[in-house]
Amino acid sequence: MYNNVYVNEWVEQMAKMTQPDSIVWIDGSEEERERLTKQALSTGEMIELDQEKLPGCLYHRTAENDVARVEHLTFICTEHKEDAGPINNWMEKSAAYAKLGTLFEGSMKGRTMYVIPYIMGPAFSEFSKVGIEITDSIYVVLNMRIMTRMGKIAMDMLGDSPNFIKGLHSKGEIDPEKRYICHFPEDNAIWSIGSGYGGNVLLGKKCFALRIASWLGRKEGWMAEHMLILGVESPKGDIQYVSAAFPSACGKTNLAMLIPPEKYRAMGYKVWTVGDDIAWLRIGADGRLWAVNPEAGFFGVAPGTSMKSNPNALLTCQKNTIFTNVVVTPDKNVWWESMGVDAPAKAIDWKGNEWTPDMGTKGAHPNSRFTAPACQCPCISSEWENPAGVPISAIVFGGRRAKVAPLVYQSFDWEHGVFVGATMASETTAAATGAVGVVRRDPMAMRPFCGYNMGEYFQHWLEMGKKIPNPPKIFNVNWFRVDENGKFIWPGFGDNLRVLLWILARCNNEVEAVESPIGYLPKLDDIDLEGTSITKEVLAELLSIDKESWMQEVEDQKAHLAQFEKLPAELQAQYEALASRISAM
């Protein structure tokens, strides 16, 4: 037990409800990690991988019905529905406590309760906040150990304060019918039951660092966003930082760890990773927007990660990593689709069944993941734990759009940039349960993660813009346009640096641009294509704005915006201006 009375009292209450056999207070020590690992190996909850090839690495398989975030089972629970807004699922607060209380009643009988104190953000930074997660899953404890700064250090930071986020998790019966991920932003509380999958149960991540934090950010004048943070170092040695919001499984980890194309490496360009999923942003004393990565690890998508697409990610997860739902080979190594190495002749797939590559099924689940310490990343920024964060020059929105959205464009100003973010759309991915590949509006990549009324969230963005004396410029990118054969046109990955350099050149007033109805587009000569197979004609195609598709797009945006009773008047005006520019094309 620690000696914070508020923590102790709350843990006691939760234990009374969930009735664990015993309570273990997590301290974050190495001895503790070894003990819990041993225990999880003995029950089969974790599987040991080849400790010579993958030292410190473990494997975990979730239930087949429990492989992704469950947006339809995720709720914002407030007194008034209006505070959750039109996009979130809402439950009335006391009804939610009652409903989940029944499920939590005795849910830890025969199990151990672990109490995990953790910090989101660098220890003792002004940006940072403390959470306590109660869980009955060792998998959660071991993941939280990688994803957050946890144990004694968090209690040291909390001191005798009552100011912590209360997270309660129980695997329950891993039954989708009895699965709920509930957020109580009015009470700084999160209750999650019935799942053992990452985003549903690592409560520091999406539940706290986005849903609860976005609510706190609005109240306290800062922002919590689904954004990567990276630094681009020029040959002169100066570094400029960019944050980018793409929906789940749309390329944040990959962009954050980008390796410049050969030509740029030779010139001395480097890219440094500060964060790959979440950014907390505040206005600095110098009038710029500063960003911190609240996490300490990466919970990255495994399939598609190869030495060709993202060597930095692959190198990050060679040790001390937990792999979830990938393929395990007979020699206890891991494999997944598009890993860039031959599939094993025979292995065990994510479901735990014998698998051969000719079976025609995927060996790894499309949303299989690795949990790896950020400090192991070869391109981790020296500033990644700077308590003050890094200053942001550009904010980039983006999504997966087979058509319509051009490779890159710049918004006219902050207000227009907020409109671009508020109306962005993307094809759905395997990161959440449900159909894949369906275009849906995903404002600022926060549709599943905004903890309050999205109309008010748009307003908060507008207010922040007024308060930042020197705001970042706002851009939109799309790496995913396809040709008539359905193939991606833009090479993506490392070559995305070519687009980032145009973005930074715009921030530094170094290049002119072409004004279009949707924003500023690059001149064809200003995106360097040397070393790619892309011709100027193809670039022109990637940057083209097709009137007919944009007429359609604008219609769709209209329906989207109409959902928000609290839509700021500025955004309605932005919409009307865009609609008239498009029809005048």
300 binds ligand GTP (CB under 6 A): yes
Segment contacting ligand GTP (CB under 6 A): 74-82, 299-307, 346-354, 534-542? 299-307
DSSP 342-403: PPPSSEE-TTSSEE-GGGSS-SS-TT-EEEEEGGG-TTB-TTTT-TT-EEEEEEEEE---SS
DSSP 511-567: S--EE-SSSEE--GGGS--TTSS--HHHHHHHT---HHHHHHHHHHHHHHHHT-TT-
Query: Between 37 and 496, whose beta carbon lies closer to ligand GTP?
Result: 496
With beta carbons less than 8 A apart as the criterion, state whether 117 and 158 touch: yes
> Of 15-23, 87-95, 198-206, 236-244, which part binds ligand SPV (CB under 6 A)?
198-206
Structure-token match 């620690």, residue found: 2
For residues 448 and 457, what is the distance between their CA atoms, to the nearest angstrom?
A: 13
| C-alpha count within 13 angstroms, C-beta hemisphere, residue 309 | 16
Query: Greatest CA span in the chain, whole angstroms?
Result: 70
Determine the Cα–Cα distance for residues 319 and 24; give it in Å rounded to an integer: 26
Q: Are 472 and 417 in contact (CB under 8 A)?
A: no
Question: CA–CA separation, 245 vs 279, rounded Å?
Answer: 9
Q: Which residues contact 557 (CB under 8 A, 6 or more apart)?
A: 423, 441, 575, 578
Q: Which is nearer to ligand GTP, 154 or 301 (CB)?
A: 301
Cβ proximity to Mn ion: between 277 and 456 the closer is 277
Q: Which of 77, 250, 377, 450 does the annotation list as catalytic?
A: 250
State yes or no: residue 248 binds ligand GTP (CB under 6 A): yes
Dihedrals phi, psi of 212, to nearest 5 degrees: -70, -40
Please report whether residue 171 would count as binding ligand SPV according to CB under 6 A: no
Given the rule CB under 6 A, which of 197-205, 266-274, 469-477, 571-579 is the region that contacts ligand SPV?
A: 197-205
Q: Is 66 in the site for ligand GTP (CB under 6 A)?
A: no
Short-list 188, 165, 203, 381, CA closest to 292: 381
User: Closest by alpha carbon to 441, among 486, 485, 490, 400?
Assistant: 400
- Please give the residues from 286 up to 325 whose contact with ligand SPV meets the rule CB under 6 A: 299
323 interacts with, out of ligand SPV, ligand GTP, Mn ion, none, CB within 5 to 8 A per kind: none
Q: Is 206 in the site for ligand SPV (CB under 6 A)?
A: yes
Size of the site for ligand GTP (CB under 6 A): 22
Of 241, 230, 520, 278, the closest CA to residue 379 belongs to 230
Spatial separation of the C-alpha atoms in residues 469 and 45, rounded to whole Å: 51
Is 309 a binding residue for ligand GTP by CB under 6 A? The answer is yes
CB of 466 to ligand SPV, least distance (A): 29
Smallest distance from the beta carbon of 204 to ligand SPV, in angstroms? Answer: 10
Binder among 378, 488, 510, 573 for ligand GTP (CB under 6 A):
488
Closer residue to Mn ion (CB): 104 or 246: 246
Question: Binding ligand GTP by CB under 6 A: which of 86, 176, 492, 517?
Answer: 492
Task: State which of residues 49, 134, 203, 250 lies at the interface with ligand GTP (CB under 6 A).
Answer: 250
Comparing CA positions, the residue from 263, 388, 364, 380 lying closest to residue 306 is 364
Residue 205 touches ligand SPV, criterion: CB under 6 A:
yes
* Binding flag, residue 211, ligand SPV (CB under 6 A): no
C-beta atoms surrounding 403 within 10 Å: 13
Residues 19-78 within binding reach of ligand SPV (CB under 6 A) = 69
Pick from 88, 77, 67: which is nearest to 446 by CA?
88
Contact call for residue 45 and Mn ion (CB under 5 A): no
198 binds, among Mn ion, ligand SPV, ligand GTP, none (CB under 5 to 8 A by kind): ligand SPV
CB 151 within 8 A of CB 117: yes
Partner touching 199 among ligand SPV, ligand GTP, Mn ion, none, CB below 5 to 8 Å by kind: ligand SPV
Contact 197, 248 (CB under 8 A): no
Is 450 assigned a catalytic role?
A: no
Contact 489, 483 (CB under 8 A): yes
Q: Which of 197, 246, 264, 280 binds ligand GTP (CB under 6 A)?
A: 246
Radius of gyration of the chain (CA): 23
Question: Rounded distance, CA 159 to CA 297, Å?
Answer: 25
The reply to whether 183 sits near ligand SPV by the rule CB under 6 A is no
Give the pairing type, strands 390-398 and 289-292: antiparallel
**Is residue 459 close enough to count as binding ligand SPV by CB under 6 A?**
no
Choice between 157 and 497, CB closer to ligand GTP: 497
Nearest distance in Å: CB 446, ligand GTP: 12
Among 131, 167, 198, 465, binds ligand SPV (CB under 6 A): 198
Q: How far is the CB of 363 from ligand SPV (least distance, A)?
A: 20
Question: Between residue 260 and residue 289, which ones bind ligand SPV under the rule CB under 6 A?
Answer: 277
Enter the tokens of residue 371: 């949990």
Q: How far is the CB of 362 from Mn ion (least distance, A)?
A: 21
Cα separations (Å) of 280 from 243, 432, 562?
10, 23, 29
For the window 237-266, what string marks contact with Mn ion as x by the rule CB under 5 A? -----------x------------------
Q: Per CB under 6 A, does 493 bind ligand GTP?
A: yes
Which residue's CB is nearer to ligand SPV, number 253 or number 329? 253
Contact residues for ligand GTP (CB under 6 A)? 246, 248-254, 276-277, 300-301, 303-304, 309, 431, 479-480, 488, 492-493, 496
Contact residues for ligand SPV (CB under 6 A)? 69, 198-199, 205-206, 248, 277, 299, 431
Catalytic positions, written as ranges: 250
Contact residues for Mn ion (CB under 5 A)? 248, 277
